[in-house]
Structure 1
Amino acid sequence: MDKQLAAMLVCPNCKGQLKLDKEAQELLCTFDGLAFPIRDGVPVMLEQEARQMGEEEKLEKAKR
């Protein structure tokens, strides 16, 4: 996924900034603890498709 496109997207829940996790192919909202999948280069920005991050993972990803 293109970094410029990722920079324009916001969390559909809180409208906060997302972080791109290239390794996991996810866009992360560390505020809400949601990880939105990127499938075939296309971000899936549906809350029901997002993975809930655990507290430890959320803190770890927020530091990056």
Structure 2
Amino acid sequence: MNLDPRLLALIVCPVTRTRLTYDPERQLLISDAAGLAFPIRDGIPHLLLDEALPWPPETGSFSPAHP
């Protein structure tokens, strides 16, 4: 599922207020400034710090399937 480009143009990182980069393969919104990746589930970005993943991921420890 692809994220609507209009939505991507509006949302920002909740930590730094900078633009997010969309990774369609992993279904993540990435904040390089904050070093975090926010999951997208069922087409809905989850921009909560509790759900953020460290970015870039350490080799072998990354799992975008976050329940």
Task: Identify the TM-score tier after normalising by the shorter chain.
Answer: 0.7 to 0.9
Identity, % of aligned positions: 45
Tell me how far 1:12 sits from its aligned partner: 0.4
- Describe the superposition over 1:7-64 as per-residue Cα deviations: whole angstroms up to 9, x where unpaired: 11000011011011111100000011110000000000101101011388xxxxxxxx
- Which TM-score applies when normalising by structure 1? 0.80
Distance 1:55 1:35, change over 3 A: closer
Aligned length: 57
Structure 1's consecutive aligned runs of 4 or more residues displaced over 4 angstroms after TM superposition are: none
Q: What is the aligned counterpart of 2:43 among 41, 44, 50?
A: 41
Q: Secondary structure at 1:6's aligned position in 2? A: helix
